[in-house]
Structure 1
Amino acid sequence: MGALPRVRVEDRSQISGSEAAVPLVLDVDDALLRTDMLHETAIACLKANPLRIFNLVGWLFQGKAVLKRKLSESVPLDVENLPLNEDLVAYARDAHANGRKVGLATAADELLAKRLGRRFDFVDFVIASDGISNLKGVNKAAVLVERFPDGFAYAGDSRSDLDVWAVSQSIVLAGASYDTTRKARALGKPVEAEFIRPRLGVRGWLRAVRAHQWAKNALVFVPLVLSGLATDPLALAQALVAFAAISMMASGTYLLNDLFDLRDDRIHWTKRNRPLASGALRIKHGVPAAAVLIGGGLVAAASLGLATFGLVAAYMVTTLAYSFYLKRQPIVDAFTLAALFTLRLGIGIAAVSAVPSPWLLVFSMFLFTSLSFAKRQTEIQKSVANGRSSVSGRGYLGSDAGMVVAMGVSTAMAAITIMVLYIMNDVYNAEFYRQPLFLWVFPAALFMWVSRIWLLCHREQLNDDPVAFAIRDPISLGLGGLMAGAFVLGWTL
């Protein structure tokens, strides 16, 4: 698809002057918008209260028009930030500027459709579902023929729009699939323009499941190494399965988190480009993908035994609690993120049956609490710079910056202290390390790294995620390599 233009405006010689002058009627879901308002309102409804799933089922049994009306009445959907098909918007605006009447005809409920219509200065009329009749397919075609007996042009994208194109005077293809495009052209109507919806592709899916975050899941290998089992083929295979299990689970819960965070992500300076928030990934595809990944993670974890399954399930429950509620609770959110990192270590311990290390687990909690506060501090700074007094979707105010810095730096220093105490109390008595003197590199390198993280954070030069930043930062990678070298020397010499 990369070689294809996103917009094809057909040869206007095929379209007579009268055809070009007829009203231009725009479908909304996945046509004018890069999303579906029914799916948007359903997700927003469940985010407010997951138990409303029973309400949704009951409304659906009464018909789609009833479902849409009930959702429109119960969910204050933010229509101003819904992602647009900018090419179709520009086409419609140009048509309106040239004297053509332009309007919306959508199966979405009219309460939402009229609010959406006020977003655009080129919309002259809005026709939508009324809570009784679902304005889709043949129903929409009948209403438009009655409303515009002299003809109309219709911009749509779905198979149900073939019924409308069959009675329209001309066609605008607004992101239709190959099969729908072929059938639409077979109707023999003039095609004014074709707007091609870019495919998500493999890279897009990897972005959607945040494959770059799988680096965090390498924590499951730490117990394998520290327990001296890295050369055991069976233990290594078990750790790899654990890595796959937590990666699938994390990706699935990332998708769910993005679904529930659509509104907040769309007003965020970087998160608005995420595939779900931008509309590159449709909600109807994101939901089953999340279910498959979460299910796959649980199955892989179950193959490693009850303990690993329980910890992966605990990760899932904690992540969902975070997405629904805990991330909006200041301080608790940072502690929860640290717990999720530490659970990765626990999963690695359970997978290879290593002996748990209290030192390692407590160190992890303090270190990752500090990094979580660094992420929140960056969000506070950028929110203030954008003129906001609080962080959208979080519980932090702009005035909390000083306290967040204090807690972040103090927990970082606590992590270093715990590492020093571990070296002093346990390392010299352990048979695992032949030259424990080399391990003193660890607290020194870690001090340099966390100090650098917080210095960059203070200077507002830190990426939203300190861990993701570290993976791309040469100095961070160099310090990580130094610690890895010190570990190998302490272990083997």
Structure 2
Amino acid sequence: MSANAGSAARVNETPVSEIPVPLVLDLDRSLIRCDMLHETALAFLRRNPLGVFKLMRWLMQGRAALKRKLAEAVTVDVDSLPVNHELADYAAAEKAKGRTVVLATASDRFVATRIAKRFAFIDRVVASDGVTNLKGAAKAETLCKLFPDGFAYAGDSAADLAVWKRAASVVVVEASPAVARKAARLGPVEASFPRPSVTRAMVKSARLHQWAKNALVFAPLVLGGQFANPAAWANAALAFVAIGVLASTTYLLNDLFDLPDDRKHWSKRKRPLASGRLPVVTAVAALPVGFAVAFALAALVGMKAVGVLAVYLVVTVAYSMQLKRQPIVDAFTLAVLFTLRLGLGVVAASVVVSPWLMVFSMFLFASLSFAKRHTEAERMATLGELRIAGRGYLSSDGPLILSMGVSSGLGAVMIMVLYLINDAFPGGLYANPVWLWAFPPILFLWIGRIWLLCQRGELNDDPVAFAVRDRTSILLGLGIVAAFLAGWYGIGA
């Protein structure tokens, strides 16, 4: 039996009849780890965001009509939908014992029939038909007519309580504790499957480890001579949290846009939304909360900070909707998003920094973005895939991505040298700027290491996330910090 839910299922908690009544499976959040109404609505809006008004008009005709309209309007890749393998294994084992297995769902019949073809153990499909929404009491009544001698029902939600009340035995599938307790009082529990933590899934979707990127907010404060200013540090800290919350929220938004492609990706299919551990409706509900918190924190810093965050959000949405599918443009856009973090630090600390810093940021982070794409291209080539899912690159584009990434990285080293010559030494900020000459060789060594590992296929999808865990990268980073402090305080001068 699979262990995708994180814990083993509990089977036969209460003795049931030796006569195997049909096993009826719910579909949404039960046999599959998603809700087909949400999936089809999201696919419809992904194609046409203004279609929300059409959805509202369809909903006024009833939920069954809405589901039928969506089933006719969009085609979901049912083969990539995340499956509850524990329940599927259980149903397959019951089928092998000679038991009839039925799929009964409130999803539209058009969609349910296509999904049922994935499972050889399903004998029959009962679903909504565009007129009747087969949910709750309506589903219970239909199943009682179809199986007057009784049936076992596997469901997950409060709406299923009406069905469990009429069932001969109960199968609880990842229900909330309250629903599970109520279900257990309605009949003998044949099996139960524990619920994975939605909170843990939400935290993972927020990608808190990516907040390391937001440390760029503090760079202008340090480079702008406000190293010893507590007020500047306080504003920068608020800006750091604001951009962190906004970035985490936009990760959710991006994952919603990318859902079909992530499910086909070798590693992204394990993300909470793609794997179904985080419900779509929960992610959608979190978006306005995250945006409100981020902009409220930015407002405490100042309206300029709000403006930078607004630009960041607009660029991110443009990236999620279209730009990430444009080769080369996608890496440029990611570099812009990194550079906007520096811009936020500039307005938060109220400093003036060298234009070289912004140009350096663009080249450095373009290089790292290309490293991410090169890793994906090489992985797809290894798997024999022609394209990177959801991106504009072909797997054969690896050599071009490699050359652009390495050249961008070396360009960043050159810009660092020009900054030192033109700004750092004449600027008078550093007591002994000679120490800053350690920056270019350390940067060169780190970029070389990133691309060496990338070319060898030893780098994961995100070089920044790799760097914060890589011992060599951490040591090189400490070397940068030591050189900066020595230059600032004038050691050896």
Q: Place the TM-score, normalised by the shorter chain, in its bin.
A: over 0.9
What are the residue-to-residue correspondences of 1:57-456 with 2, within 5 Å? 57-187=56-186, 189-202=187-200, 204-456=201-453
Which residue in the other structure is 1:52 paired with? 51
Q: Does the 8 A contact of 2:370 with 2:402 survive in 1?
A: yes
Deviation at 1:178, TM superposition (A): 1.3
Q: Does the 8 A contact of 1:104 with 1:125 survive in 2?
A: yes
Distance 1:57 1:172 in 2: 34
Aligned residue for 2:227, secondary structure, equals: coil
Distance 1:6 1:198 in 2: 11
Q: Does the 8 A contact of 2:16 with 2:188 survive in 1?
A: yes
Q: Does the 8 A contact of 1:301 with 1:309 survive in 2?
A: yes
Q: Give 1:17's aligned amino acid.
A: E
Query: Sequence identity, in percent?
Result: 55
Distance 1:191 1:160 in 2: 17
Deviation at 1:469, TM superposition (A): 0.8
Distance 1:33 1:147 in 2: 24
Distance 1:486 1:397 in 2: 41
Deviation at 1:367, TM superposition (A): 0.6
Q: Give 1:15's aligned amino acid.
A: V
- 1:235-289: CA deviation from partner (whole Å, max 9, x where unpaired): 1110000001000000000011111111111121211111111111111211112
Which residue in the other structure is 2:10 paired with? 8
- 1:18-63: CA deviation from partner (whole Å, max 9, x where unpaired): 2xx1111000111111111111111111211211111211111221
Aligned residue for 1:437, secondary structure, equals: helix
Q: Does the 8 A contact of 2:250 with 2:316 survive in 1?
A: yes
Deviation at 1:101, TM superposition (A): 0.6
Aligned residue for 1:192, secondary structure, equals: strand
Q: Give 1:235's aligned amino acid.
A: A
Distance 2:97 2:478 in 1: 63
Q: Does the 8 A contact of 1:251 with 1:290 survive in 2?
A: no
Q: Give 2:44's aligned amino acid.
A: C
Distance 2:76 2:141 in 1: 29
Q: Give 1:381's aligned amino acid.
A: E
Q: Does the 8 A contact of 2:58 with 2:66 survive in 1?
A: yes
Q: Does the 8 A contact of 1:363 with 1:419 survive in 2?
A: yes
Deviation at 1:488, TM superposition (A): 0.5
Deviation at 1:5, TM superposition (A): 4.8
Aligned residue for 2:468, secondary structure, equals: helix
Q: Give 1:316's aligned amino acid.
A: L
Instruction: Please give the TM-score of this superposition, normalised by the length of structure 2.
Output: 0.96
Q: Give 1:196's aligned amino acid.
A: P
Distance 1:39 1:152 in 2: 28
Which residue in the other structure is 1:480 paired with? 477
Aligned residue for 2:29, secondary structure, equals: helix
- 1:195-236: CA deviation from partner (whole Å, max 9, x where unpaired): 11122344x332110000000000000011111212211111
Deviation at 1:74, TM superposition (A): 1.5
Distance 2:13 2:277 in 1: 29
Distance 1:61 1:352 in 2: 51
Q: Does the 8 A contact of 1:224 with 1:230 survive in 2?
A: yes
Deviation at 1:290, TM superposition (A): 2.3
Q: Give 1:124's aligned amino acid.
A: D
Distance 1:8 1:61 in 2: 41
Which residue in the other structure is 1:17 paired with? 18
Distance 1:409 1:256 in 2: 30
The answer to which of 389-398 and 77-86 deviates more is 77-86
Which sections of structure 1, spanning at least 5 residues, go unmatched?
none
- 1:155-207: CA deviation from partner (whole Å, max 9, x where unpaired): 111111111111111111111111111211222x22111111122344x3321
Distance 2:422 2:16 in 1: 84
The answer to which of 296-305 and 243-252 deviates more is 296-305
Which sections of structure 2, spanning at least 5 residues, go unmatched?
1-5
- 1:366-409: CA deviation from partner (whole Å, max 9, x where unpaired): 11011101100000000111110110100001221111111111
Distance 2:421 2:7 in 1: 64
- 1:436-479: CA deviation from partner (whole Å, max 9, x where unpaired): 11111001111111111111111111111111111111111111
Q: Does the 8 A contact of 1:6 with 1:197 survive in 2?
A: no
- 1:289-341: CA deviation from partner (whole Å, max 9, x where unpaired): 22211221111112222211011011111111111111000000000000000
Distance 1:422 1:193 in 2: 67
1:492 aligns with 2:492: no
Aligned residue for 1:228, secondary structure, equals: coil
| Count of aligned pairs | 486
Instruction: Please give the TM-score of this superposition, normalised by the length of structure 1.
Output: 0.96
